[in-house]
Structure formats: C-alpha cells, structure tokens
C-alpha cells in the first residue's frame, strides 16, 4: 500500500477535527506573499497525505484558515494555520509527513488540536535588528527616548485612506539596546482584530524621525522577526 493511500484506511472521526499547524517562515521565504503561501500549503498538505476534510459541493477544497498574515519582508517563528481532518492520525505522524514536504525555511514546529480562536490574539512579540551607518550609543538612547515621548507619528493606511497616528498607541511594551554595532528592539505590538499595527511601521517611524537606513543599501539592512502571538494580558502565549 502506498504511503499516501494509508489515510483512506484510518478510522473515521465522528466529526471533522480542527488541527492547528504552527510553522516558521524565515530566510528568503520572507519575500513570498500571503497568497503564494496559501497556494504552497494547498499543494503541500495534499502531498503529505494527511487525512484532510474537504468542503462539499461542486468544487471541493481544503478549508484553510491562517492566523495573522505576515507582512512581506518579515520573518516569523509562530505562524499558524488551521485545517480539518476527518480520520484518526497521530499529531506526530502528521508533523513528520508535513515536514517531509517542507524546507528548513518553511517548517512545521507543532501540530495539535485547535482550542482557541484566532480572534483572541491581541498582541505580537517582535525582535528587530537594525544595521545602519553612523549608529552609536547616543542614537540608541535617542531612539529609546522616542518610544516614551508622545507623539511618535507615522502615516498608516486604512480602508478609508491614509491616516496619521501615534505609534505609541499600539505599543504594549518596548525595549531598545545597542549590541555588536546594531540597534536591537524588542517590542510587543497591538495585533488584534481592528487594532493591528504592521511591524514595518516602526521602521518607517524611525526612518522619518532619525534618518536611519538612508545610506548605502548594500551596507544597511534590518530584520523583523515575529517570536510569539499573545492574549489580551500581553503575557500569555496564544496556542
């Protein structure tokens, strides 16, 4: 029996079970769009031979629900995708099957039954590393001060058009440090429904206020890495 046919011999569940896939998206894959990610997972899930549940009707398809879409250019260790399965298969076997079709830059970290709704996500935790010319302790101190002195304005795109907002309204907690010649920022930012801050806007605000990352683009760069997503208390990790 072929491995990808095994799923048809597994016991049926009484009702479809929603499984949550926690995965990383790092390295060069930070540049693929959310639509491309959806297409990739649609193919990978089928190739992995998971006992997937399909919608009914004339055009059956896998029901996939992603957590917060990750902006292009950002990396993450905590992306999430919900899918439904209709047969018994262990979490560990599903994880192994899925990772056999993925790469190190796009890799499943956990698979488990979903308990909470994505709407319960309120914050996201990020690490920023900024390599820019002319950085020193004085500049880092000035940046740290900007995050405690209102306003720190930035133009934000909304459904109704562009709007100037105070970035600090979306900052739950932030710390700035200077390490190995880089500006390092650890931030917990608003990420709830109707109260979401694109992490790229923090970089935009610093560019406008301090002129960072305005030199030779071959020598200056930055990284945004999403570490965790959190509940409304800003401490408890969402699972």
In the 3-class helix/strand/coil scheme, how is the chain assigned residue by residue? CCHHHHHHHCCEEEEEEEEEEEEEECHHHHHCCHHHHHHHHHHHHHHCCCCECECCCCCCCECCEECCCCCCCCEEEEEEEEEEEEECCCHHHHHHHHHCCCCCCEEEEEEEECCCCHHHCCEEEEEEEEECCCCCHHHHHHHHHHCCCCCCEEEEEECCEEEEEEHHHHEEEEEEEEECCEEEEEEEEEEECCEECCCHHHHHHHHHHHCCCCCCCCCCEEEEEEEEEECCCCCCECC
Given a cut of 80, whether residue 6 has pLDDT beyond it is: no
**All structural domains of the chain:** 3-115 (3.30.70.580), 119-230 (3.30.70.100)
Percent of the chain whose pLDDT exceeds 70: 97
Average pLDDT value for the chain: 92
Range with the lowest mean pLDDT among 3-17, 203-217, 225-239? 3-17
**99, two tokens:** 């990772």
> Would you say residue 12 has pLDDT above 60?
yes
Report the pLDDT value the prediction gives residue 102, as an integer from 0 to 100: 96
Confidence at 5, pLDDT banded by 50, 70, 90: low
How confident is the model at residue 197, as a pLDDT?
93
Amino acid 1: pLDDT? 44
The pLDDT tens digits of the residues spanning 82-116 come to 999 999 999 999 999 999 999 999 999 999 999 99
Indicate if the pLDDT at residue 125 is higher than 80. Answer: yes
Q: Which residues pair with 162 in a beta bridge?
A: 157
Tokens of 187: 């931030």
- What confidence tens digit (pLDDT) does each residue in 142-189 have? 999 999 998 999 888 777 778 888 999 999 999 999 999 999 999 999
> Using 50, 70 and 90 to split pLDDT, how confident is the model at 141?
very high
Q: What is the pLDDT of residue 61?
A: 87
Structure token pair of residue 67: 């957590």
- Do 110 and 215 contact (CB within 8 A), yes or no? no
- Amino acid 8: pLDDT: 60
Residue 228 pLDDT exceeds 60: yes
Q: What is the pLDDT of residue 218?
A: 87
Who has greater pLDDT, 232 or 215? 232
Residue 75 has pLDDT above 90, yes or no: yes
Q: Taking Cα atoms as reference points, which of 217, 239, 218, 220 lies closest to residue 228?
A: 239
- What pLDDT is stored for residue 82 in this prediction? 97
Confidence of residue 224 (pLDDT cuts 50, 70, 90): very high
pLDDT reported for residue 9: 78
What is the reported pLDDT for 3?
57
């Amino acid at each position: 029996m072929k491995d990808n046919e095994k799923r048809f011999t597994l016991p049926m569940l009484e009702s479809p079970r929603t499984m949550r896939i926690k995965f990383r998206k790092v390295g060069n894959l930070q540049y693929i769009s959310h639509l491309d990610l959806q297409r990739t997972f649609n193919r990978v899930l089928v190739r992995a031979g998971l006992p997937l549940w399909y919608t009914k009707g004339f055009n059956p398809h896998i029901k996939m629900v992603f957590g917060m879409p990750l902006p292009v250019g950002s990396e993450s260790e905590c992306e999430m995708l919900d899918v439904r399965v209709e047969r018994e298969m262990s979490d560990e076997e599903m994880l192994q099957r899925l990772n056999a079709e993925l790469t190190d830059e796009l890799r499943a970290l956990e698979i488990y039954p979903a308990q909470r709704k994505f709407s319960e996500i309120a914050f996201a935790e990020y690490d920023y590393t900024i390599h820019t010319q002319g950085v020193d302790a004085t500049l880092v101190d000035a940046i740290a001060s900007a995050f405690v002195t209102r306003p720190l304005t930035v133009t934000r795109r909304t459904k109704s058009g562009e709007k100037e907002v105070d970035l600090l309204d979306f900052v739950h907690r932030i710390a700035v440090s200077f390490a190995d010649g880089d500006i390092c920022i650890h931030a917990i930012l608003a990420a709830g429904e109707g109260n979401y801050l694109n992490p790229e806007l923090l970089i935009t605000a610093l560019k406008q206020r301090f002129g960072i990352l305005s030199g030779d683009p071959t020598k200056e760069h930055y990284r945004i890495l999403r570490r965790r997503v959190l509940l409304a208390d800003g401490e408890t990790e969402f699972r």
